[in-house]
Structure 1
Amino acid sequence: MSEKPPEDDFLRRDLPFFYRVYRPAAPTGECLFLLHGSGVDETTLVPLGRQVSPHATLVAVRGRIAQEDGFRWFRRISPIRFEQDSIRKEADAFADFIPKAAKRHDLDLARASFIGYSNGANLVSSVMLLHPRLIVQAALLRPMPVLDEVPPADLSNARVVILSGADDLTYRPFALALVGLLSRHGAKVEAHTVASGHEIGNPDAAIVRQWLADPAAAVATSDR
């Protein structure tokens, strides 16, 4: 009889989204849900997740929309316009996925944070606005607002950090609009600008790590 592979060694297909679970050697009970950007897969944010929180359990999820050789989270019309029905359908599905994944893997959602990059960040913010009070802590890297119509939403329990790239000419102009949108709905939002384009790297990981560990210090270094 063959041994069961370790949890981070296979793609899980037992829920509507494909995903992988990575458990650290010395878990602390923290959990990070990782949502990748366009055209890649669920493994791409794992190194950043480990930088951000080495002792957190990582849930790396794959978007369901096929794109070229990878995946995305909802259908697009142009780089800055998106199919609204697709956003809502996928946001609803992901909102259903979150508690099911938590129950299946014994995760405490009160200690869960969500890290999304680009299209993944846009899915996270959409879930927050369409299913308020489900996601209480989120790091959004290179995001933009994508919902044409936003319903009333109480995000007073939510804490968000938004990271834009100084040289990200396409998406950086939209970051301030997302800060305002989430703030108007009650979220506690911090905004940072890093010296990069749309790509992410070590500076992003350092800011998110500090933000998670020490909110007061993150506020002190915020570039608004």
Structure 2
Amino acid sequence: MLTQAYQALTKDPNGTAPLIFAFHGTGGDENQFFDLAQDIHPDAGVISPRGDVSEMGAARFFRRTGEGVYDMDDLARATDKMAAYVSDWKQKNPGRAIYGFGYSNGANILASVMISHPELFDRVGLLHPLIPWNPSSVSGLQDTQVLVTAGRHDPICPWPQTEKLTRWIRAQGAELTTLYHDGGHEMWREELTALAELLRDH
């Protein structure tokens, strides 16, 4: 079954609460954000998969050939696989809101899925994403709430790339919120506060 395509921690939702997908950064695993997602929204279902690529022992969701240099063929493979994985969970939860958030490499696979399959997620949190290509315009993001957080001095996710991604998201008609700080690749408390505001029901 596609819902078993990744090693993952999962929790069933209560009532009408959303299903939240949590995507770890390089070197993380399914444990990295599982508890955070539950703490933010205790009634939500949580799906936290482990990346299926190993980079010198560090789990990732797709391969790269250098810092910020993606193996685009493997990214395409990983994006299709993850989109099918999310879609299968969505089909098993008809009518339920689907949220997702990820940090660094997790934000990148989530952003790639959002770009290729804009219909899958209702809310998307991208923490320190890096999308080093120019996505084509898409339809289907007009009703999607998207949060982008970043550090203005992030050596891994250069600031101009973050600005380019946010311009693209805004141009697709998504409801975009941004949270920037003057640090680097580390997550600040303010980012987690913004993420909680995105994921909790209003």
Shorter chain as denominator, the TM-score bin is: 0.7 to 0.9
Match of 1:114 among 100, 125, 150: 100
Deviation at 1:196, TM superposition (A): 4.3
Can you list the C-alpha shifts for 1:119-165, whole angstroms capped at 9, x where unaligned? 1111111111112212221000011214x353341122322000112
Match of 2:128 among 142, 153, 174: 142
1 CA distance for matches of 2:169 and 2:15? 31
Aligned to 1:218: none
Look up the equivalent residue of 1:32 and give its one-letter code.
I
The answer to whether the aligner puts 1:86 opposite 2:74 as a matched pair is yes
Aligned to 1:165: 151
Q: TM-score, normalised by structure 1?
A: 0.78
The answer to whether the aligner puts 1:15 opposite 2:4 as a matched pair is yes
1 CA distance for matches of 2:16 and 2:182? 32
Q: Name structure 2 gaps, 5 residues minimum.
A: none
Look up the equivalent residue of 1:197 and give its one-letter code.
G
Query: Pairwise mapping of residues 1-224 of structure 1 onto structure 2 (< 5 A)?
Result: 15-23=4-12, 28-103=16-91, 106-108=92-94, 110-146=96-132, 148=133, 150-154=135-139, 155-173=141-159, 174-194=161-181, 196-200=183-187, 202-213=189-200
Q: Conserved in 2, the CA contact under 8 Å of 1:35 and 1:121? A: yes
Identity of aligned pairs, percent? 24
What SS does the corresponding residue of 2:155 show, helix, strand or coil?
Answer: coil
Q: Name structure 1 gaps, 5 residues minimum.
A: 1-11, 216-224
2 CA distance for matches of 1:52 and 1:153? 30
Deviation at 1:112, TM superposition (A): 1.5
Deviation at 1:110, TM superposition (A): 4.2
Deviation at 1:167, TM superposition (A): 4.2
Look up the equivalent residue of 1:131 and give its one-letter code.
H
Aligned to 1:6: none
Q: Conserved in 2, the CA contact under 8 Å of 1:130 and 1:151? A: no
What SS does the corresponding residue of 1:40 show, helix, strand or coil?
Answer: coil
Look up the equivalent residue of 1:55 and give its one-letter code.
D
2 CA distance for matches of 1:60 and 1:202? 21
Shift in alpha-carbon separation, 1:109–1:123, aligned structure 2, 3 A: farther
Can you list the C-alpha shifts for 1:87-107, whole angstroms capped at 9, x where unaligned? 11111111111121234xx43
**Larger displacement relative to structure 2 (193-202 or 129-138):** 193-202
Structure with the bigger RCO (C-alpha within 8 Å, sep 6+) is 2
Root-mean-square deviation (CA, aligned residues, Å) is: 2.5
Can you list the C-alpha shifts for 1:31-69, whole angstroms capped at 9, x where unaligned? 210111112211111132123222211100111111233
Look up the equivalent residue of 1:212 and give its one-letter code.
L
Question: Aligned residue pairs: how many?
Answer: 200
Look up the equivalent residue of 1:183 and give its one-letter code.
R
Q: Conserved in 1, the CA contact under 8 Å of 2:2 and 2:88? A: no
